[in-house]
Structures are given as structure tokens and as C-alpha cells.
Amino acid sequence: MFTNDPKVPRLRLEVKVLLDAIDALENKTPMVTFTKEHLEAGKSSNGAWSAKQLRLLKVNHKKHGWKRRAIGRKYPADVVERFVALKDKHLISGKSAMAWKLAERAERNSLDVEFIYVTAGL
């Protein structure tokens, strides 16, 4: 059903957050309240956050107040840890960026990461 209601995208986002919370409860994943300290810990050296980090938080950074909406919200602990771990990952450029992507993919697939680092010159 088509609607012009501007609240619909926000409601969809809230439903996604609630579904994630339900999944976390069913899987017994500990929930963590996202704080300003988490936000600052994930901030890059350029003073911003990557799109991947913001997707983890399920926030629309183009809308005013996204930081305020993220702070205080409960997220699974692994999401918050991943958010902080992604700090500065988006700043790598050129040949090394491809090497990092290959290394990440190798880690996910349990491949020999050392081989990729050596061949890529990292």
C-alpha cells in the first residue's frame, strides 16, 4: 500500500530495531546500551563514521538528530563491539584497501590470512 506519511520510514526503522532486540533475547545475546563513549570510540581520525558503522546502528545519518537517537538505544553487544572495531577501517585507500577487503573475506572464510598480507605487501 502506497502512503505519503513521512513517519513510515521511521516506523520501519523502529520495527527493525525491535526485531533485532527480540532476536537477541531469543539467542540470549547480551544487550548493551549504546553510549556517547561508544560513539566517540568509533569515531575515525577524520572525525566521522563509516556507512558500515551507521548501518550497524540502523540510523539514517542524513537526518538531524541521528546521534541523539542512537545514544541510549539497546543493541546486541556484538554490534557495539563491531561498531568500535570498524574505527578508521574506511580510511584505507588504494591497493591496501583491496588487501584489507581480501583479508576480511579470508578471515570470514577461515582462509590463510598471512598469505594475503604477504602477497599484498601489508
Q: What is the pLDDT of residue 72?
A: 93
What is the domain extent for residue 25? 8-88
| Phi, psi for 76 (deg, rounded to 5) | -60, 145
106 shares its domain with 78: no
112 shares its domain with 69: no
| Phi, psi for 72 (deg, rounded to 5) | 95, -15
The pTM (predicted TM-score) of the whole model is: 0.56
Mean pLDDT of 33-54: 90
Considering only residues 19 and 97, tell me which one the structure prediction assigns the higher pLDDT: 19
> What's the structural domain count of the chain?
2
List Cα–Cα distances, 78 to 19, 32, 33, 43, 56, in angstroms. Answer: 16, 9, 12, 17, 10
How confident is the model over 71-112, as pLDDT tens digits?
A: 999 998 889 999 999 888 777 655 566 666 777 777 776 655
